[in-house]
Structure 1
Amino acid sequence: MVRASFWFGWILSLQVALFWLWGTTPAVALTSEQQLVLQAWRTIDRAYYDDTFNHQNWWVTRDRTLKQQIPNEEAAYTAITKMIASLDEPFTRLLRPEQYRSLQVNTAGELSGVGLQIGVKAGSQQIEVIAPIAGSPAAQAGILPHDTIVEIDAIPTTELTLDTAAVRMRGAMGTNVSLTIQTADKSPREVILIRQKIELNPVTAELHTENGRKIGYLRLSQFSAKAAKELGENITKFKQQGAIGYVLDLRNNPGGLVQAGVEIARQWLNEGTIVYTVDRRGAIDSIDATGTALTDAPLAILVNEGSASASEILAGALQDNGRAKLIGTKTFGKGLIQSLFDLPNGSGLAVTVAKYETPNHHDIHKLGITPDRVVPTPEISLESAATATDTQYLAALKELGV
């Protein structure tokens, strides 16, 4: 009898302990909408770089969310968005099916709409411009990095998520979208843009003759899937044509695929660390050169306030390894890494999984990279880049000894 009582008490204690470990949500069959919410929660729980989850009990957030009425898919999206909002970090976000497909197309090298790369302004809910895409309607209208987008078609952007703002700027070719833009302390202005299909040609390559010496000028507009291949082909071609140095133009390049940035760094570096990644446990991993440099000729890199993310990985790698000199102004300062995760119904999550540091362990997030030689960004058109009116380009030539 004593033994039977002991076993009964032990089993009861075990049940209580397991109930406490599993949380307060009862073990009942979940609807498909609840399963979608739970899958989003689990993905963030396993991958998110901040293991404090913005100093909250993430399990309590799960239970509170699942106890809500989630009668349909739209309600599930709302619940997931609210759950993510509690992290107070703009780069982790839900991507509805159409947004997820659009993002996958963008990284493949195609864009549609007005040609803006956007983010959330630090410490606010405002949408800001990271950089306009070269030659796009936004670039032609004079929209600049760090401009604030106040409204889209009269809707305040403080009421929109980053992705819904992007979706509203996209649309059928030839249609109009109205943006209210604010530059620094100036009064807001309305800009009417006509949407276009924007084919991203990530690399512009020209062999210049400067003072009788051949210089390979390479402008990279985005780190798309085909950027490294195109850039490598042009480096090799210019080398065969007798280039004695190179200027790599990363101005207003908002980033893209981190792997493309790594591959391009390996085209210039034979050895050394390219970037460190730091995960939620503080574990540091390095990505290194692989002995595959295409040239050892001198290199100068042009950067400005619109150079972000993968641009900063590449610039930081080549600066810290002494492979290149940076010319221009301090970069944007986006040092967080996102990975994409599928959700069951065709939607997805972009989750911040780590931060990166330059080879000298410089944390660039919100700080940016300071060039070796600071030269203000000239007020010139895209067509005037790398000409006699481009003071940053002229400074780069001087750095190369031309």
Structure 2
Amino acid sequence: MKPLRRTFSVFACLIALGAAAFAQQTPPETSTPPATPPLTTLTADQRKEVLDSISTFVSTRAFVPGVDFARWTEFVEKRRESIEASDTVSGFTREVNRALREFGFSHINLRTPTASANRRSGSAVVLGLSTRPVEDGLEVTAVVANSPAADARFKVGDVVLEVNGAKPTSAESLRPEEGQTLAVKVKHPTGEQVEVSMQARRMATAREDTLTWPEKNVALLKIHSFSNGYDQRKIENHLDVAAKAELLILDLRSNGGGATTNMNHLLSLLLPDATPFGVFVNRRMADQFKEATQKEPTDPVEIAKWTERKTQTRKRSLEPFKGKVVVLVNRGSASASEIVACALREHKAAPLIGQRTAGAVLASVYGRLPHGFELQYPVSDYVSMPAGIRIEGNPLQPDIEALPNRALDEGIAKAIEWFKKPIG
């Protein structure tokens, strides 16, 4: 049961990309089949083995300040009947995740064997659109180029009303098997309703980050993820080219997070060397706080203010960007992207433009479970510095609101407007 490297990918981001929180912008298709047929059903013994392993991780390795992980037994018992009645992999995973959500925080999630394999392989069976729940169904927040969703002419702002005749309640409704065709009813922002068919296909999950110039002296750097696809050398090249710009628009919309090393890498290219921008509060730090102060380590903000172990930027070969910065965010901006946005607002006076973020900023790792399952679980909390903001459960609010628009990218337009005539 060896966990992988620490990441900040949001555990339940509403993205219909299999298990991934990102997808390929110019996606090479792959027809390579799985080595073995995916597990589809579970015996009672298999369910018990997975649950027992989850209990071990939750009780001995997971950590969030002030959280009583012993309550996991209570949450399981509450759903025992529905869990034991689920003999399919998808049904079992769904019921276990409902129990895990009782904790009330992010980054604790059971992944199916297929989703686990997709995460490690860098490919997934996808439709290629990101969504969030709304009253009518699922609102589209992003569409991957050259994906089945793009082929079906999905646009940001569309609302999925029905999938195979049923109202969708989560992104799980848009995660079909490879080759499966879905009948989808869609409502456009104009109110027009249409029905389309989409067939999922396997695609690489990494997207290439891009630098464009919406106007002279205004550079737009789009970063899709801090995980699969983040190329430090290419990001440095982009920012080297962008150094002549007076304004850098950093687009972190629908960026679900990723590795801490990549997050620090980007901040180190935008802020001065050794800038302390936050504290990761882990179990060891909490224990040291309790020993030194004789207080219960339940408040991550108090612990963060007490410790001297602040996370800092590191000197890179490239000088930090000297111009103004604006950060574009939305409800799909989570984890590492929220940390970056908050740090730039606190240390570079960068306004956040768009919609509120996800409020999901626990550092997490992955633990392998029996029968190919995988558990994502948190190991530390995060508090920004110097403001002392705990983002987990407290989404960042935009300084300037910009809503999705099919015809005009309002976020970019408002960023340029702010640059030409600063608001507030």
Does TM-score exceed 0.5, indicating one fold?
yes
- Alignment partners' CA distance in 1, 2:133 and 2:310: 28
**Does the aligned pair in 2 maintain the 1:300–1:399 contact within 8 Å?**
no
Structure 2 equivalent of residue 103 of structure 1? 119
Cα offset, 1:166, TM superposition: 5.0
**Does the aligned pair in 2 maintain the 1:331–1:368 contact within 8 Å?**
yes
Q: Size of the alignment, in residue pairs? A: 345
Closer, same or farther: CA 225–295 of 1 in aligned 2, 3 Å: same
Structure 2 equivalent of residue 273 of structure 1? 276
- Alignment partners' CA distance in 2, 1:78 and 1:330: 29
Structure 1 equivalent of residue 236 of structure 2? 232
Cα offset, 1:313, TM superposition: 1.6
More moved, 86-95 vs 336-345: 86-95
Is 2:210 the counterpart of 1:204? Answer: yes
Normalising by structure 1, we get a TM-score of: 0.67
Structure 2 equivalent of residue 318 of structure 1? 344
Find the residue that maps to 2:351 and give its secondary structure. strand
Structure 1 equivalent of residue 16 of structure 2? none
Cα offset, 1:114, TM superposition: 2.1
Closer, same or farther: CA 84–148 of 1 in aligned 2, 3 Å: farther
Closer, same or farther: CA 217–120 of 1 in aligned 2, 3 Å: closer
Is 2:324 the counterpart of 1:299? Answer: yes
Cα offset, 1:277, TM superposition: 3.4
Find the residue that maps to 1:227 and give its secondary structure. coil
Report the AA paired with residue 96 of structure 1. T
More moved, 288-297 vs 126-135: 126-135
Is 2:416 the counterpart of 1:394? Answer: yes
Closer, same or farther: CA 80–396 of 1 in aligned 2, 3 Å: same
- Identical counterparts, % of pairs: 14
Report the AA paired with residue 358 of structure 1. S
Unpaired segments ≥5 residues, structure 2: 1-43, 284-297
Name which one, 1 or 2, has greater alpha-carbon Rg.
Answer: 1
**Does the aligned pair in 2 maintain the 1:248–1:302 contact within 8 Å?**
yes
Unpaired segments ≥5 residues, structure 1: 1-29
Deviations 1:49-89 (A, max 9, x none): 375559x8434556788999799885975774564354455
**Does the aligned pair in 1 maintain the 2:354–2:401 contact within 8 Å?**
yes
- Alignment partners' CA distance in 1, 2:220 and 2:337: 17
Closer, same or farther: CA 207–63 of 1 in aligned 2, 3 Å: closer
Report the AA paired with residue 49 of structure 1. V
Cα offset, 1:185, TM superposition: 12
Match of 1:113 among 117, 126, 129: 126
Cα offset, 1:94, TM superposition: 1.5
Cα offset, 1:321, TM superposition: 0.8
**Does the aligned pair in 2 maintain the 1:378–1:390 contact within 8 Å?**
no
Structure 2 equivalent of residue 21 of structure 1? none
Find the residue that maps to 2:257 and give its secondary structure. coil
- Alignment partners' CA distance in 1, 2:253 and 2:371: 35
Describe how 1:1-400 pairs up with structure 2 within 5 A: 33-46=47-60, 47-49=62-64, 52=67, 57-60=71-74, 80-81=96-97, 83-84=99-100, 86-87=102-103, 91-105=107-121, 108=122, 110=123, 112-118=125-131, 131-133=142-144, 136-138=147-149, 140-144=153-157, 149-158=160-169, 164-168=172-176, 171-172=178-179, 176-180=181-185, 190-195=195-200, 198-199=203-204, 200-206=206-212, 210=216, 214-229=217-232, 230-239=234-243, 243-250=244-251, 252-259=253-260, 260-269=262-271, 270-278=273-281, 281=298, 282=300, 283-284=303-304, 286-292=310-316, 294-306=319-331, 308-309=333-334, 310-322=336-348, 325-326=350-351, 328-337=353-362, 338-359=364-385, 360-365=387-392, 367-372=394-399, 374=400, 376-377=402-403, 379=405, 391-395=413-417, 397-398=419-420
More moved, 191-200 vs 31-40: 191-200
Find the residue that maps to 1:44 and give its secondary structure. helix
Report the AA paired with residue 165 of structure 2. A
Greater RCO, CA 8 A, separation 6+: 2
Report the AA paired with residue 314 of structure 2. T
CA RMSD of aligned residues (A): 4.4
Closer, same or farther: CA 70–316 of 1 in aligned 2, 3 Å: same
- Alignment partners' CA distance in 1, 2:106 and 2:190: 24
More moved, 72-81 vs 313-322: 72-81
**Does the aligned pair in 1 maintain the 2:75–2:100 contact within 8 Å?**
no
Find the residue that maps to 2:225 and give its secondary structure. coil
Cα offset, 1:320, TM superposition: 0.6
Cα offset, 1:227, TM superposition: 1.8
